[in-house]
Amino acid sequence: MDSVTIVIIFIVALIFSVGFLLVVISLVPALNQLKSLLSDLEKTSYEARKLTIKLQDVSEKVDDDLAKINSIINTTRESVGSVSNSLKFLNKNLLKQSAGFLAFIPALKLGWKFMKKRKGGKK
């Protein structure tokens, strides 16, 4: 082989070697950052799983509390219905039938006050 050919092959090999060295030098920090990123991603994934489990527990507690509140609301509705029926009965049977007598109560009260004043005035 010619010495010129050997020099050209050597220069080409040297250029490839330097290029490969530059690629390796630039990829090492990128690989380190990728490794760090994967480590952080693993930690974040673990924390997300833990938070999901806690959220499921909270969701179950809220569902239980809503079921209790629902039963309280139903009981309250029944109680209000019973009170409503009782008041309707009182209004219909007691107050409407005795409305004439109940109209005299203010007059009796006024008369009672008048009598008290009158008796007090004589002393």
The pLDDT of residue 92: 84
CA distances, 92 to each of 1, 17, 82, 108 (Å): 127, 107, 15, 24
Contacts (Cβ under 8 Å, ≥6 apart) of 102: 95
Domain ranges of the chain: 3-122
Contacts (Cβ under 8 Å, ≥6 apart) of 95: 102
3-state secondary structure of 98: coil
d(CA 64, CA 26): 57
Tens-place pLDDT, residues 4-32: 899 999 999 999 999 999 988 888 888 89
Per the confidence metrics, is the pTM higher than 0.85? Answer: no
